[in-house]
Structure 1
């Protein structure tokens, strides 16, 4: 049976993204990028029949693949999250 990791477009409560496997929550992340990175790592470690679905801005769920565009650079964190020296 295929395990399907689901990453939503919008955060659940305005602050975090909840990743689901077959509809059940398995983790919360501070950004969509972090959720995707964690699920790619988890799926590759598990091996087998795994798929990652990502919700688009249009509300349509699509399979994530290696051909997906990735950011040239990770956007900077908002000032409130920057490290204080």
Structure 2
């Protein structure tokens, strides 16, 4: 939280693969995603409600891209896997 002169601001960061469709190795984990993605969306919605402002997704990183309600799902490769991000862990 930041009490900036323009008003309150908050930054929400996630640091684990449980919020996305793929794990850091690129393997889909739909059960983990279905359990956790709604929790992230609810947290974003609550934070937006408290601040009275819609979310503004930040810049994409090597690990993913934010959306107004969670994380974007990268396109699958031909083998059904996602990007392998383990080289930067």
Q: What band does the TM-score fall into relative to the shorter chain?
A: 0.3 to 0.5
TM-score, with length taken from structure 2: 0.33
Max radius of gyration: which structure?
2
More strand by share: 1
More helix by share: 2
TM-score, with length taken from structure 1: 0.34
